[in-house]
Amino acid sequence: MIRWLAVALATLTLTGCQAEPENWHGKDIQGLMPDLAFELKGTNGDTVTPADSRGQVRLLYFGFTSCPDVCPATLAKLRRAVNDMPDPLAGDVTILFVSVDPQRDTPERLASYAAFFGDRVVGLTAPEPRLRDLTKRYRTTFGYDEPDAEGNYNVSHSSAVYAFDRSGEARLLLRPDLTAEQVTEDLIQLASAAPD
């Protein structure tokens, strides 16, 4: 009981401390989520970890290349948001597109899909169990529909983008209802902050 109260108090205090006067359009998730960590397969077959984009502002997004509308719309919005950033900062943002459909998303397919949305996008995937671990870490999930006659199936996945600062700390959850302008403003603020 005392232990529980202590945890409750500690949590309340911590949450209280986070209420800084920062103004974000996205949802502030600092302290709520673990920092950026993954080991995934890149489009050239190499293993990719956060160290490959060290010091960058990272945007993590789960999707799949056969995604009819949500994924292209989100990635197009992110591309616009990053391109609208002032010059030196725009190069400091990496978009990590993690396909949760490794069966259909071959490295080639993922590479051309990522390239379509600009050179800031890195296409990544992994065998399903590893993807399950990663989505669990960020408290999201994905699921597959039954395939239709042509073998096409839909995939349910998170609709939000996770933003990590230069030191890899989880900072923002960008909900799908944000505009590209709002994302740009948040990204400028994130990228301008000095790394810890």
Q: Which residues are annotated as a binding site?
A: 67, 71, 157
Q: What is the contact mask toward another protein in residues 96 to 135, using x (rule: CB under 8 A)?
A: ---------------------------------------x
Measure CA of the first residue to CA of the last residue in the chain; give whole Å: 37
| 29 near another protein (CB under 8 A) | yes
Say how far apart CA 182 and CA 24 lie, in whole Å: 9
The phi and psi torsions of 122 (rounded to 5 degrees) equal -110, 120
The three-state secondary structure class of 61 is strand
HSE (CB half, 13 Å, CA atoms) of 110? Answer: 26
Report in angstroms how near the CB of residue 88 gets to another protein at its nearest: 31
Instruction: Please tell me whether residue 152 binds another protein under the rule CB under 8 A.
Output: no
Reduced DSSP (H G I as helix, E B as strand, rest coil) percent helix, strand, coil of the chain, to 5:
35, 20, 45
Q: 173 near 29, Cβ under 8 Å?
A: yes
Closer to another protein by CB, 21 or 45: give it. 21
Residues 45-64 that bind another protein (CB under 8 A): 62
Interface with another protein (CB under 8 A), residue from 54, 106, 116, 136: 136
- In the complex, the residues that contact another protein under the rule CB under 8 A are 1-2, 4-5, 7-8, 11, 15, 27, 29, 31-34, 62, 135-136, 139-143, 145, 154, 156-160, 173, 175-176
